[in-house]
Amino acid sequence: MSRFTLNERPVSIALDPQTPLLHAIRDAANLTGTKYGCGTGDCGACMVLVDGEALRSCLINLAEVEGRFVTTIEGLSRDRSHPVQQALVAQQAIQCGFCTPGIAIAAAALLAKNADPGEEEIAAAIPNLCRCGVYPRLLEAVRQAGRVTRRQEIISAAPAPGIAAQDAARSVPAITPVPNGDAAAE
Ligand code: FES
Ligand code: FES
Protein backbone atom coordinates (compact mmCIF):
# COMPACT_ATOMS: atom_id res chain seq x y z
CA MET A 1 0.00 0.00 0.00
CA SER A 2 1.37 3.39 -0.99
CA ARG A 3 0.23 6.48 0.87
CA PHE A 4 0.72 10.04 -0.23
CA THR A 5 -1.22 13.27 -0.65
CA LEU A 6 -2.80 13.72 -4.06
CA ASN A 7 -4.29 17.11 -4.87
CA GLU A 8 -4.54 17.91 -1.16
CA ARG A 9 -6.26 14.64 -0.28
CA PRO A 10 -4.60 11.69 1.43
CA VAL A 11 -4.72 8.58 -0.75
CA SER A 12 -3.80 4.93 -0.28
CA ILE A 13 -3.09 2.98 -3.45
CA ALA A 14 -2.93 -0.80 -3.39
CA LEU A 15 -0.56 -1.34 -6.30
CA ASP A 16 2.97 -2.67 -6.55
CA PRO A 17 5.19 0.12 -5.12
CA GLN A 18 7.28 -0.15 -8.30
CA THR A 19 4.27 0.97 -10.39
CA PRO A 20 5.02 4.22 -12.23
CA LEU A 21 3.24 7.13 -10.58
CA LEU A 22 1.74 8.01 -13.98
CA HIS A 23 -0.25 4.76 -14.12
CA ALA A 24 -1.39 5.07 -10.51
CA ILE A 25 -2.65 8.60 -11.19
CA ARG A 26 -4.44 7.73 -14.41
CA ASP A 27 -5.69 4.22 -13.73
CA ALA A 28 -6.10 3.99 -9.94
CA ALA A 29 -6.97 7.60 -9.10
CA ASN A 30 -8.76 8.13 -12.44
CA LEU A 31 -7.14 11.53 -12.96
CA THR A 32 -6.62 11.43 -16.70
CA GLY A 33 -5.43 15.02 -17.17
CA THR A 34 -1.88 13.75 -16.78
CA LYS A 35 -0.95 12.31 -20.17
CA TYR A 36 1.04 9.27 -21.22
CA GLY A 37 3.18 10.44 -24.12
CA CYS A 38 6.43 8.53 -24.48
CA GLY A 39 6.81 6.66 -21.19
CA THR A 40 10.56 7.20 -21.40
CA GLY A 41 11.03 10.65 -19.88
CA ASP A 42 11.37 12.51 -23.16
CA CYS A 43 8.12 14.40 -23.77
CA GLY A 44 7.04 15.85 -20.41
CA ALA A 45 3.34 15.17 -21.03
CA CYS A 46 3.19 13.27 -17.73
CA MET A 47 4.59 16.03 -15.51
CA VAL A 48 3.15 16.47 -12.03
CA LEU A 49 4.29 18.46 -9.04
CA VAL A 50 5.96 16.45 -6.29
CA ASP A 51 6.55 18.67 -3.28
CA GLY A 52 6.40 21.61 -5.69
CA GLU A 53 8.91 20.25 -8.19
CA ALA A 54 7.82 19.35 -11.72
CA LEU A 55 8.70 15.69 -12.28
CA ARG A 56 7.95 13.21 -15.04
CA SER A 57 5.52 10.78 -13.45
CA CYS A 58 6.44 8.03 -15.92
CA LEU A 59 9.94 7.92 -14.43
CA ILE A 60 9.08 7.77 -10.72
CA ASN A 61 7.31 4.98 -8.94
CA LEU A 62 4.87 4.87 -6.08
CA ALA A 63 7.56 4.04 -3.53
CA GLU A 64 9.32 7.30 -4.37
CA VAL A 65 6.29 9.46 -3.55
CA GLU A 66 5.47 7.77 -0.26
CA GLY A 67 4.45 10.50 2.20
CA ARG A 68 4.94 13.28 -0.37
CA PHE A 69 2.59 15.87 -1.87
CA VAL A 70 1.62 15.25 -5.48
CA THR A 71 -0.34 17.76 -7.54
CA THR A 72 -1.73 16.97 -10.96
CA ILE A 73 -3.22 19.37 -13.49
CA GLU A 74 -6.62 18.77 -11.87
CA GLY A 75 -5.22 20.10 -8.60
CA LEU A 76 -3.48 23.17 -9.98
CA SER A 77 -6.72 25.07 -9.42
CA ARG A 78 -10.30 24.00 -9.03
CA ASP A 79 -11.67 26.50 -11.53
CA ARG A 80 -8.86 27.01 -14.07
CA SER A 81 -7.96 30.23 -12.31
CA HIS A 82 -4.24 29.54 -12.00
CA PRO A 83 -2.36 32.30 -13.89
CA VAL A 84 -0.69 29.72 -16.12
CA GLN A 85 -4.01 28.19 -17.11
CA GLN A 86 -5.51 31.61 -17.79
CA ALA A 87 -2.53 32.77 -19.83
CA LEU A 88 -2.32 29.58 -21.91
CA VAL A 89 -5.92 30.15 -22.95
CA ALA A 90 -5.53 33.92 -23.39
CA GLN A 91 -2.49 33.44 -25.65
CA GLN A 92 -4.12 30.55 -27.50
CA ALA A 93 -1.07 28.46 -26.70
CA ILE A 94 -3.06 25.25 -27.03
CA GLN A 95 -3.75 23.33 -30.21
CA CYS A 96 -4.52 19.64 -29.72
CA GLY A 97 -3.88 20.10 -26.01
CA PHE A 98 -2.11 16.80 -25.40
CA CYS A 99 1.05 18.44 -24.10
CA THR A 100 -0.77 21.21 -22.23
CA PRO A 101 -1.20 19.62 -18.77
CA GLY A 102 2.51 18.84 -18.55
CA ILE A 103 3.45 22.29 -19.80
CA ALA A 104 1.11 23.96 -17.31
CA ILE A 105 2.66 21.97 -14.47
CA ALA A 106 6.22 22.85 -15.56
CA ALA A 107 5.32 26.53 -15.96
CA ALA A 108 3.58 26.64 -12.57
CA ALA A 109 6.65 25.15 -10.88
CA LEU A 110 8.89 27.71 -12.60
CA LEU A 111 6.75 30.73 -11.68
CA ALA A 112 6.43 29.55 -8.07
CA LYS A 113 10.20 29.93 -7.82
CA ASN A 114 10.69 32.91 -10.11
CA ALA A 115 7.74 34.97 -11.30
CA ASP A 116 9.89 36.93 -13.75
CA PRO A 117 11.94 34.37 -15.67
CA GLY A 118 13.98 35.18 -18.75
CA GLU A 119 13.63 33.37 -22.05
CA GLU A 120 16.49 30.97 -21.35
CA GLU A 121 15.10 30.11 -17.94
CA ILE A 122 11.70 29.42 -19.45
CA ALA A 123 13.22 27.16 -22.10
CA ALA A 124 15.24 25.28 -19.50
CA ALA A 125 12.34 24.86 -17.08
CA ILE A 126 9.84 23.81 -19.77
CA PRO A 127 11.61 21.23 -21.94
CA ASN A 128 8.27 19.67 -22.86
CA LEU A 129 7.72 18.51 -26.43
CA CYS A 130 4.78 19.85 -28.41
CA ARG A 131 4.07 18.20 -31.74
CA CYS A 132 1.79 21.12 -32.66
CA GLY A 133 4.56 23.69 -32.21
CA VAL A 134 3.01 26.14 -29.75
CA TYR A 135 6.42 27.32 -28.51
CA PRO A 136 6.24 31.04 -29.48
CA ARG A 137 2.79 31.36 -27.91
CA LEU A 138 3.89 29.33 -24.94
CA LEU A 139 6.69 31.80 -24.31
CA GLU A 140 4.19 34.67 -24.36
CA ALA A 141 1.83 32.74 -22.08
CA VAL A 142 4.51 32.14 -19.46
CA ARG A 143 5.53 35.80 -19.59
CA GLN A 144 1.91 36.86 -19.17
CA ALA A 145 1.34 34.38 -16.34
CA GLY A 146 4.40 35.87 -14.68
CA ARG A 147 2.93 39.36 -14.91
CA VAL A 148 -0.33 38.08 -13.43
CA THR A 149 1.58 36.35 -10.63
CA ARG A 150 3.44 39.60 -9.94
CA ARG A 151 0.07 41.42 -9.90
CA GLN A 152 1.06 43.62 -12.83
CA GLU A 153 -1.77 42.37 -15.01
CA ILE A 154 -5.20 40.86 -14.69
CA ILE A 155 -6.58 38.49 -17.31
CA SER A 156 -10.18 39.57 -17.41
CA ALA A 157 -11.48 36.91 -19.79
CA ALA A 158 -10.78 33.94 -17.54
CA PRO A 159 -12.04 30.75 -19.11
CA ALA A 160 -15.19 29.40 -17.56
CA PRO A 161 -15.13 25.74 -16.51
CA GLY A 162 -16.76 23.41 -18.99
CA ILE A 163 -17.63 24.05 -22.61
CA ALA A 164 -18.28 27.64 -23.60
CA ALA A 165 -21.86 28.26 -24.67
CA GLN A 166 -20.89 29.18 -28.23
CA ASP A 167 -18.79 26.02 -28.60
CA ALA A 168 -21.59 23.86 -27.24
CA ALA A 169 -23.98 25.46 -29.74
CA ARG A 170 -21.58 24.71 -32.61
CA SER A 171 -21.53 21.01 -31.73
CA VAL A 172 -25.32 20.68 -32.03
CA PRO A 173 -26.51 20.13 -35.61
CA ALA A 174 -28.97 22.69 -36.87
CA ILE A 175 -32.53 21.38 -36.74
CA THR A 176 -35.08 22.55 -39.29
CA PRO A 177 -38.53 22.61 -37.67
CA VAL A 178 -41.03 20.28 -39.31
CA PRO A 179 -44.36 22.12 -39.87
CA ASN A 180 -46.64 19.49 -38.32
CA GLY A 181 -44.00 18.27 -35.87
CA ASP A 182 -43.82 14.84 -37.60
CA ALA A 183 -40.08 14.38 -38.13
CA ALA A 184 -40.51 10.75 -39.28
CA ALA A 185 -42.50 11.92 -42.31
CA GLU A 186 -39.50 13.83 -43.73
S1 FES B 1 5.25 10.19 -20.79
FE2 FES B 1 6.64 10.81 -19.25
S3 FES B 1 8.09 12.05 -20.28
FE4 FES B 1 6.79 11.31 -21.86
S1 FES C 1 -0.73 21.44 -28.47
FE2 FES C 1 -0.66 19.54 -29.52
S3 FES C 1 1.09 18.55 -28.70
FE4 FES C 1 1.18 20.53 -27.90
CA of 59 to the centre of ligand 1 (A): 8
At residue 80, the pLDDT reads 83
Check whether 158 has a pLDDT greater than 80: no
Phi and psi angles of residue 10, each rounded to the nearest 5 degrees, phi first:
-70, 135
CA-closest residue to ligand 2 atom 4: 130
Asked whether 23 lines ligand 1 (CB < 6 A), one says: no
Q: What is the 8-class DSSP label of residue 61?
A: B
Asked whether 131 lines ligand 1 (CB < 6 A), one says: no
Check whether 169 has a pLDDT greater than 60: no
Asked whether 38 lines ligand 1 (CB < 6 A), one says: yes
**Where along the chain do its domains lie?**
2-76, 83-158
CATH number of 2-76: 3.10.20.30
At residue 171, the pLDDT reads 42
Asked whether 98 lines ligand 2 (CB < 6 A), one says: yes
Name 45's bridge partners.
none
Best of 58, 61, 103 for a ligand 1 pocket test (most atoms within 8 Å of beta carbon): 58
Tens-digit pLDDT profile for residues 44-74: 999 999 999 999 999 999 999 999 999 999 9
What whole-number distance in Å separates Cα of residue 142 and Cα of residue 178? 51
* Domain 83-158 is found in CATH 1.10.150.120: yes
CA of 180 to the centre of ligand 2 (A): 48
Residue 48: in which H helix or E strand, if any? strand 47-50
Cα 100 → chain centroid: 5
Q: 45-48 long-range contacts, Cβ below 8 Å, gap at least 24?
A: 45/98, 45/99, 45/101, 45/102, 45/128, 45/129, 46/22, 46/102, 47/101, 47/102, 47/103, 47/105, 47/106, 47/128, 48/21, 48/72, 48/73, 48/105
Tens-digit pLDDT profile for residues 68-91: 999 999 999 988 889 999 999 999
Determine whether 176 is exposed, middle or buried from the number of CB atoms within 10 Å of its CB (0-12, 13-18, 19+). exposed
pTM of the model: 0.85
